[in-house]
């Protein structure tokens, strides 16, 4: 997988730059070890959900499409030995390899982890407002996958969508577009970021169900996915993979809780 797009982590001594908000926390929150610790509970919950919760009546395990796409990609390459755990294992390995290659110290700053959760919760608010404005606050949690029967099933699906949709649409697509346009065509960083955001957002919109039962386009839903995809892309570029994945997962959990409260 391509290297993440250039970010503020590229500073040679990130822990010692600037005041608190634009200095130590800003950089620590983008280090791979802190990202791994932040996302570890979400990865574990989703993996347990695959084993215990996410089953159809015939016993067939169901995943969100982003998770399935990763499995299908590796299956096409002949890598099938890890089953449904492959995407989670891939994510952990990517972060560990990044940590080793970056030569950051193997010291977890727990205060940073706590602040990352708080920041992710705050960054959920604009998506909630956007969904409310577009009347899309109870959107499906994964493209092409019907809402599950129980709250636990829907929450597991939402957490998985937050993790693996961000892995595909932000980390993989933005990093790949950035590498192609900068290294292949010599475009400027600013121009490349613009195109990367647009491509990622459009792909994110097309991935989700934006048509009604009659096949007609639902403009409000399409606009929501396009706008939220753009928002997540900017969060990724400015704040890194950990924050955007946690923000996405927390939003999906909010959607589940809101939908369940409305249904009662």
Q: Is the pLDDT of residue 6 over 90?
A: no
Q: Is the pLDDT of residue 33 over 80?
A: yes
CA 85 to chain centre: 17
* Residues in contact with 159: Cβ distance below 8 Å, sequence separation at least 6, in sequence order: 42, 45, 46, 49, 249, 252, 253
> Would you say 249 and 159 are in contact if contact means Cβ atoms under 8 Å apart?
yes
User: Of 61-65, 83-87, 121-125, 197-201, which range is least confident?
Assistant: 61-65
Confidence of residue 1 (pLDDT cuts 50, 70, 90): very low
> Would you say 34 and 242 are in contact if contact means Cβ atoms under 8 Å apart?
yes
pLDDT of residue 60: 54
6 CB-side CA count, 13 A: 12
Q: 147-195, pLDDT tens digit by residue? A: 556 788 888 888 999 999 999 999 999 999 999 999 889 999 899 999 9
**CA trace torsion 20, 97, 164, 88 (10° rounding):** -120
pLDDT of residue 68: 85
> Would you say 229 and 201 are in contact if contact means Cβ atoms under 8 Å apart?
yes
Q: 106-155, pLDDT tens digit by residue? A: 999 999 999 999 999 999 999 999 988 876 555 554 444 445 567 888 88
Average pLDDT over residues 89-111: 95
What mean pLDDT value characterizes the chain?
Answer: 84
What percent of the chain has pLDDT above 70? Answer: 81
Predicted TM-score (pTM) of the model is: 0.86
Interior angle at CA 14, CA 190 and CA 109, nearest 5: 125
* Residues in contact with 150: Cβ distance below 8 Å, sequence separation at least 6, in sequence order: 53
Average pLDDT over residues 76-85: 81
pLDDT of residue 28: 93
pLDDT of residue 92: 97
221 CB-side CA count, 13 A: 15
Q: Is the pLDDT of residue 81 over 80?
A: no
pLDDT of residue 132: 85
* Termini Cα distance of the chain: 43
């Amino acid at each position: 997988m391509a290297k993440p797009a250039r970010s503020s982590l590229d500073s040679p001594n990130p822990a010692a730059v600037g005041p608190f908000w634009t200095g130590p926390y800003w950089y620590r929150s983008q280090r791979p070890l802190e990202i791994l610790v932040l996302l570890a509970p979400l990865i574990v919950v989703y993996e347990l959900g695959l084993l215990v919760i996410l089953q159809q009546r015939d016993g067939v395990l169901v995943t969100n499409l982003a998770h399935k796409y990763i499995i299908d990609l590796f299956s096409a390459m002949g890598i099938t030995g890890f089953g449904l755990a492959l995407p989670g294992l891939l994510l952990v390995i990517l972060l560990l390899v990044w940590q080793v290659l970056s030569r950051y110290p193997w010291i977890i700053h727990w205060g940073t982890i706590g602040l990352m959760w708080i920041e992710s919760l705050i960054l959920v608010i604009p998506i909630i407002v956007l969904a409310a404005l577009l009347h899309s606050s109870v959107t499906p949690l994964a493209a092409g996958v019907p809402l599950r029967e129980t709250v636990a099933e829907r929450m597991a699906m939402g957490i998985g969508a937050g993790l693996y949709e961000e892995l595909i649409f932000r980390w993989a697509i933005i990093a790949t577009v950035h590498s192609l346009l900068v290294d292949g065509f010599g475009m400027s960083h600013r121009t490349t970021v613009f195109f990367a955001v647009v491509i990622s957002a459009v792909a994110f919109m097309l991935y989700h169900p934006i048509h009604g039962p009659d096949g007609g386009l639902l403009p409000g839903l399409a606009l929501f996915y396009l706008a939220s995809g753009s928002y997540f892309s900017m969060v990724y570029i400015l704040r890194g993979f950990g924050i955007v994945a946690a923000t996405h997962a927390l939003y999906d959990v909010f959607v589940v809780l809101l939908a369940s409260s409305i249904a009662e």
